[in-house]
Amino acid sequence: MTLMTDIEHNGIAVRDKDWWRGGVIYQIYPRSFQDTNGDGVGDLKGIVERLPHVASLGVDAVWISPFFTSPMKDFGYDVSDYRDVDPMFGTLADFDELIRTAHGLGLRVMIDLVLSHTSDEHPWFKESRSSRDNPRADWYVWADPRPDGTPPNNWLSIFGGSAWAWDSRRCQYYLHNFLASQPDLNFHTPAVQEALLDVARFWLERGVDGFRLDTINFYIHDRQLRDNPPLPETLRNDSIAPSVNPYNFQDHKYDKNQPENLAFLNRLRRLMEEYPAVAAVGEVGDAQYGLEILGQYTAGEDYMHMCYAFEFLAKEKLTARRVAEVFDRVERVAPDGWACWAFSNHDVMRHASRWNLPPAAVPLFATLLMTLRGSVCLYQGEELGLPEAEVPFEALQDPYGIQFWPEFKGRDGARTPMAWTPDVPGGGFSEVTSWLPVAAAHLPLAVSLQDGDPGSVLNHYRRMIALRHAHPALLKGDMTDIHVAGDLLSFRRSAAGETLYCAFNLGDAPLEADVPPGEWQALHGPAPEGDTITLKPWQALVARLDEGRN
């Protein structure tokens, strides 16, 4: 389907300002993508150097994890200057070159905005903690202790322990949902919202095409600082925090997910609407109500364009039944919302290892991801089928892993450097020792080895992304008739006069599936045999209904 070009944004011809609806976004973790200055850490120039690889996948956009000035205690998710690039990654001029290069390749650029909290080295926090009556005294969440000196309530940090840290300057506690060096901003203060909207405008004016919004449901806390109630043990899960973390013991009713957040999201959306074809995807970090919040935040055109929850980022293996259950719940709690699905990212174990997939299953799950209703995020190296890297304790960098080792090994195993070529030191990532070791298990899966192999995982991803873009039904269509029979998952996608039938064998034994009535043309997988199809282990069928013959 060809649409007329009606606007141009940042040098990219925009045929559809809703490009994000069904689009494919590639996440780049800058520290581990490509090192060009020989310090063992990836940088913006390295991203520029490797963007042709990303463009070759056929994706719509890149999401770049934080590169702002930071003490790097949480590797950039602790920002000390929202308007500059950390010298580790380069300069603003390097970022401008990245924008120009990406746009020249037809790639949009989305940046990771961390608005819920800053570093304790941010000038705003330094001023706020200096006294109780300075101009920014209420820019962060401060509270007096209880009469016995303990924290004001029972809220817990995702990184372990109380979410409150004592500050001897003000003799008050401040809130930190993550590290103690990541104090939470107080969104109940109007000036804070204005300052953060100005940050977003700064980057929009610089040419970005949108944002990935970190911990979008953490922005606003309960004004009354009420205690969170306990969560029944039967409802606990470890999709957000590891099972050994008592964070899972609470129903996080008051420390996040507040209704006032919608008003701020509306202001942010109105700002983005001033720029054509800009979009945002929000990270909804909640183990119990993620899909409900996704539905609230993406309904209509008043808030966010899309959000992702953690249903497919959890440890729970993605069975046919699980996929059907998730989409049934989406239909019930988020019928007007828009999800952005991901199987892997920088915060969770890579899904090839998390679900213990055999090599033959990896392409199958890529096909599944590209046929689901919603948008898609791919994490760097996912297109290579990379497993989780083994990182020994002595090489760990992630404070989360160090805190909960060995029951939880942290996030470093998903953050090791990309393997570009196996026959040079460092896998082509760096000429010196890298900040995390390059995984030996990744070298046989390097880009250079897979690039020219038609049967590689890399080229399978390219074909599936191309298939998605070639069919309106996969981009924006409905998803109906979801059926499960053991390891068989099937559904229909339909839009603009096009109907597709998608069937997946999510198991290690062959199975036979009924094909709906009609004349079906196989776009991927074996051709239907009359009214049935035999699927080998880990095999998929995507077929198009010949409307003219029915």
Q: Which residues are catalytic?
A: 214, 274
Return the bridge partners of 26, or none.
62, 378
Return the bridge partners of 378, or none.
26
The answer for 160, left when phi > 0, alpha when psi is -120 to 50, beta otherwise, is left
Rounded Cα distance, 151 and 162, in Å: 8
E runs forming strands in 241-337: 279-283, 306-308
**Contact (Cβ atoms closer than 8 angstroms) between residue 283 and residue 23:** no
Closest CA to 315 of 341, 343, 292, 288: 343
The answer for 402, left when phi > 0, alpha when psi is -120 to 50, beta otherwise, is alpha
In angstroms, how far is CA 220 from the centroid of its own chain?
Answer: 21
Q: Is 21 exposed, middle or buried (0-12, 13-18, 19+ CB in 10 A)?
A: middle
The DSSP H or E segment spanning 192 is: helix 190-205
3-state secondary structure of 338: coil
Place of tokens 């995390």: 436
Place of tokens 């043309």: 521
Q: What's the token pair of residue 310?
A: 């953690």
